[in-house]
Amino acid sequence: MENHMTTTTFDIDFKNLLNMAKEKLNPRKVSHFIEAGGVASAILTDQGNVYVGVCIDTACTLGMCAERNAIANMITHGESKIDKLVCVMSDGSVGSPCGVCREYLMQLHKDSGEIKILTSIDGFTFIKLKDLIPDWWGHKYFESGET
Ligand SMILES: [Zn+2]
């Protein structure tokens, strides 16, 4: 069974994305060294597919944030352009991508700055990634025509 969900309608709203992420919240101990599922993320691509991921926390800093786990799932399925992203914490509140995830997202696609990131459940407000990582160092490489 594949872990991503193909949708029939392209414009999935933030509320649905949030619910898809919440379905994957499942804080648990995987082993003596690894805990997972305390944070979940769902991303909607420009192709209308949703990919989800949970955080994986390990000893020796080998872990991965929920957002990057969802991105890995997306890349595994051949996509790289994200339209919307949500991150949900174990208490059900909305999370914001950490600095590493912001950088990772920016490197994914030349249009990543336009990714809409949910900032609040009240009114389902969002911010664009470019406003979370201003003056990004890599623009010049995308502008030179590289993909
Ligand atoms: Zn992160």
* Pairwise CA distance, residues 93 & 18, whole Å: 10
Token pair belonging to 77? 């399925």
CA atoms within 13 A on the CB side of 71: 27
CATH fold of 5-143 reads: Cytidine Deaminase; domain 2 (3.40.140)
CA of 94 to the centre of ligand 1 (A): 13
Q: Which residues crowd ion ligand 1, with CB under 5 Å? A: 65, 98, 100-101
- 15-72 pLDDT, tens per residue? 999 999 999 999 999 999 999 999 999 999 999 999 999 999 999 999 999 999 999 9
CA of 141 to the centre of ligand 1 (A): 23
- 107-118 pLDDT, tens per residue? 999 999 999 999
Pairing of strands 116-120, 82-88: parallel
Within 1-147, strands assigned E span 5-6, 28-29, 35-45, 49-57, 82-88, 116-120, 125-128
Q: Cα separations (Å) of 35 from 60, 78, 123?
A: 13, 28, 32
Residue 9: what pLDDT?
46
Length of the chain: 147
Domain spans in the chain, listed from the N-terminal domain onward: 5-143
* Pairwise CA distance, residues 28 & 32, whole Å: 11
- 58-95 pLDDT, tens per residue? 999 999 999 999 999 999 999 999 999 999 999 999 99
CA of 56 to the centre of ligand 1 (A): 11
CA proximity to 56, closest of 40, 45, 71: 40
CA of 96 to the centre of ligand 1 (A): 8
For residues 8 and 114, the model is more confident at 114
pTM: 0.89
CA of 101 to the centre of ligand 1 (A): 4
Is residue 147 very low, low, confident or very high in pLDDT (cuts 50, 70, 90)? low
